[in-house]
Structure formats: structure tokens, C-alpha cells
Structure 1
Amino acid sequence: MNKPKQLTFPWNKNTKVTFNNFYIDPKNINLVMDLKDVTINDDFFIYGVSNSGKTYLQQSLCNFFQQLDKTSIYIPLNEALKYGVNILDSIENIDLICIDNLELIEKNLEWQIAIFNLINNTVLSNSKLFFTVSKDNGSLNFSMPDLDSRIKKMQSYELFEVQENNISAALQYIAKSRSINLGEAETRYLLKYSTRSISYLTKILDKLDNTSMELKRKITIPLIKEFI
């Protein structure tokens, strides 16, 4: 089968994120291993709280597929809902289709029908689907029973937040993977005086890195104080 043509959408996918830059909490090891196992043909349904890394994993898997010379697409429903269901037309032959924040269409029957049809079409084309939701799997309730049933039959995983006792190691890992020099004292200061959320800390780390390069200064506690 010929590869589908490259489709253009009115949002961007981060082409730089990779699994190598993602700190894998021990509770998430099996999930990440299964995502990277191209011999697994099952669709994936991942649930977890906001900012736990679901979007990052979807975009990492898209980039991973690209390295394997396979096609992929990332669709954030918070953006796609602005453009209508036609945006899903003719994507069923793409090797990997990632759809983020599926809970946003719980009460939207038009989109539920479109997603249901997409699932049916990808069964025929042998494409892989990867859905995420930012709520508990059991509380997801679509108004279209057929879609609700189909989703609940998919291979599902919970993406756990980085555990409290692993946050320091996660921050050091992310800094090292991005070639950011973050000392132990600076790490302790960040964790003591800022929100202990790895998503928030990563954003602060990026700002510190950009500022340190612009000012040609090391990341120090006085510099950190300017951001938290």
C-alpha cells in the first residue's frame, strides 16, 4: 500500500520530544515499553490527570514512528473541535493516529460518530490508534453507547504522575537529557520553593536554560529566585 500523502493541520506537533527525554517513573515502565513495541497491534487508551505527560508520550510516539519511516498524526481535540469533523476525513491509512483529550467530546454526538467511524476504518486499514483522556477511565461516559463500548474494549493504561520520592531524580534526568547543567544545590532549592509538579518544573527549567544562555550565566540559586 502506498503511503498516504502528508497532511497539513492548523496546529503544531513538537518534533523534538523523544522517549529518551521522558523520565519514566517505575510505575509507568510497562506502558512505555508497550508503546515502543511495534509488534503490538492493539490500539491504546491512556488515562491520567492533567500534566502527567500524556501529550508528551503521544508526540514522542509520533516522532518514534517517523524514525521507523512510518506515518503518524497528532490531533489535539481542544484545537480540532474548532474546525469540524471533516478534519478526520481520509486519515485512516496513516500508520499511527494520536487523538488527545477524548473526554472533550463526551456530549458531542457528531464528533462521537466521527471517532466511531474512524475506529471502524482503521480496523480495515490496520492503523494504530492512541487515545488519551484526562479523567479516570471508569468515569468516561459517551452519549453514544457504541463508541462507549468500543473504547472500553481497548487496551487501557493509567499514566501515573511522577511519584513524590522520584521528583528530584526526574528533574535531574530531564536536565541531563537536555544538556542543562543543574547542580544538586540548585535542584534542592527548586524543589523546596516551587510547585513540586514535574510539568511545572520542566517549564521553569526551560526558562532557566534560555535565560542562562542569553546572559551567559550559570544556573544558580540567585538566577532561580528570579523565576519562582
Structure 2
Amino acid sequence: MTQFRQLPFVFPEGRIPSFELYYPGPNREVFEHVRRLGEAPASLYLWGPSGTGKTHLLQAAGHEFTALGRRACYLALAQNAELSPTILEGLEDLDLVCIDELHSVAGNREWERALLHLYERLRDFGRCFVLASLESPGFINIDLPDLKSRLAWGLVFHLRQLDECDKIRALQWRAKLRGADLSDEVAKYLLRRNSRAMAELCRVLDELDESSLAMQRRLTLPLMRAVLDRR
């Protein structure tokens, strides 16, 4: 068994999520809890709208565990049509199990039973378990009462969207990690010209930084306009 079972997600080369790349903003508390998962067995439930970094945190936790020589897996349930619930069998042998997009299997009795049994096995073995969903434990459309009650047993965190000021700080932090300076003016222009989803903003910023390196120019407003106008 590989140490980090990517089930079924494959990380784009050079873009593996890390805690360093996550700008918590209003989500500092959940960030600290996920970052300290390795200190003791725990069950966490993260919920909130798309773009709040749930997937990033789950994947970063998995890679943090493997960096310490521990075993972890990440499973995205939005692809459940291509999967069987039997994929959950044996995951209690791992130190950390991260299950994303729980809402995708809500109402599916076969998946719900498999998740309940997995939850019980992970608890019995003293493992760490992190679930993420768009919906809170109280409102997710889970039919199996025992599973629904288990979801609220651990720590539950509501992740919130970054406001415009936090998005600017997040972009500047990411640019700094890449060795670049991003002024407020350039960051605001980037927000105006693109989708405000953080994943897309980060992707565009990385593209702009690569262009600036290739041209041996700083990340300025004229450079950004020139690059974005060619897209």
C-alpha cells in the first residue's frame, strides 16, 4: 500500500497543496485544528461553500502526514458514480482518512452504510478522520440516522469565503512565496479582470508570475494587462 493513496484525485505536477500556501483569513481556527491533526486522534467535519479551501486543507493534511512517515488517503466522492463503496474497506489501516464532497453521496443508502461502518472502524482504531461538505451536519440530506448523528460527534467547522481585502492579502502572500512582489494596485486589477474564485485567481497569478520570469520583468500593471489581453 502506498503511503498516500490518491483516491481518485491526481495532483497536478508542481501544484501539491500545502499548509504554507493556504491563507486562512477568517478560517484561522479550522486551519490550526487541521494543521495539528497529527498530535492526537480526531474527527473533523468541515463545511461551507465552494472556494473556501476545504479540498486544499484535506489534501495538505494528507501530505503533511506522509511527510512524517505516516499513512493517509484522500477520496473525492463527487466521482462516486465511477466508484464502489467497497473502496472504503481497509482504510482503518491508515493514520488519516480525508473524505471530500460528502454531499455527493447523501441519500445513497449503500454509500451511507459504508461510511457509517468506516467511521466506527476508524474510531475503534484511534485514527484521524476528516470530512468535508457543502452542507452542515444538521442540514445535509443523509437518510441514515446513525451516520447523521456520528457526523456531529467530532469538531464541526464552518468555513467562510475571503472578503476582497483578504483575497488581496492571500494573493500577495502567494506571490511572496514565489519570490515576487504584488502591489495593491496590481492585485485589485487582477480581482476586477478575473473570476473571484480563489483557485482561479491563484492559477492566473501563477501564470502571470511565470510570464514575468520568462520576460525578466517585475509583476507590474502594464505587464499584467499585456499578458491578460493575450489570453
Q: What's the TM-score, normalizing by structure 1? A: 0.87
Partner of 1:51: 51
What's the counterpart of residue 108 of structure 1? 108
Q: Residue type of the partner of 1:33?
A: E
Q: Percent identity?
A: 27
What secondary structure, in the 3-state scheme, does the structure 2 residue paired with 1:97 have? strand
Deviation at 1:213, TM superposition (A): 3.9
SS of equivalent to 1:227: helix
Determine the C-alpha separation between the residues in 2 that align with 1:117 and 1:23: 34
CA drift of 1:109 comes to 0.8
Q: How does 1:1-228 map to 2 (within 5 A)?
A: 6=3, 7=5, 9-13=7-11, 16-25=16-25, 27-37=26-36, 38-225=38-225, 226-227=227-228
1:9 offset after TM fit, Å? 4.2
Counterparts in 2 of 1:103 and 1:196: CA distance versus 1, 3 Å: same
Residue range with higher mean Cα deviation, 41-50 or 185-194: 185-194
Alpha-carbon distance change, 85 to 163 in structure 1, aligned in 2, over 3 angstroms: same
Q: 1:54/1:224 Cα in 2 relative to 1: closer, same or farther (>3 Å)?
A: same
- Greater mean deviation of Cα atoms: 210-219 or 182-191: 210-219
Q: For residues 9 and 52 of structure 1, do their structure 2 counterparts lie closer, same or farther at Cα, with a shift above 3 Å needed? A: closer
Q: Is the 8 A contact 1:11 1:79 kept in 2?
A: no
C-alpha distance in structure 2 between counterparts of 1:168 and 1:91, whole Å: 39
SS at match of 2:82: coil
CA distance 1:129–1:13, shift in 2 (3 Å): farther
Q: d(CA) in 2 for partners of 1:133 and 1:8?
A: 19
Q: Deviations over 1:2-42 (max 9, x none)?
A: xx6545644314673211111121x2222111122233422
Gaps of 5+ in 1: none
Amino acid corresponding to residue 42 of structure 1 in structure 2:
A
Q: 1:151 to 1:175 in 2, by over 3 A?
A: same
Task: Give the AA of the match of 1:73.
Answer: C
In 2: Cα distance, 1:5 partner to 1:170 partner: 33
Give the whole-Å Cα distance in 1 for the aligned partners of 2:219 and 2:62: 32
Shift of 1:202: 1.0
Equivalent-residue separation in structure 1 for 2:93 and 2:68 (angstroms): 16
Equivalent residues of 1:92, 1:125 under 8 A apart: yes
The alignment yields a C-alpha RMSD, in angstroms, of 2.3
8 Å Cα contact 1:175-1:182 kept in structure 2 = yes
- The count of aligned residue pairs is 224
**Counterpart secondary structure, 2:157:** strand
Unaligned runs of 5+ in 2: none
CA distance in 1, matches of 2:187, 2:6: 40
CA–CA distance in structure 2, aligned partners of residues 109 and 103 of structure 1: 13
Native 8 Å contact 1:65 1:72 kept in 2: yes
Per-residue deviation, residues 59-116 of structure 1 (Å, max 9, x unmatched):
1111111122211101011224412112112111100000000001111111111111
Partners of 1:218 and 1:22 in 2: CA distance: 24
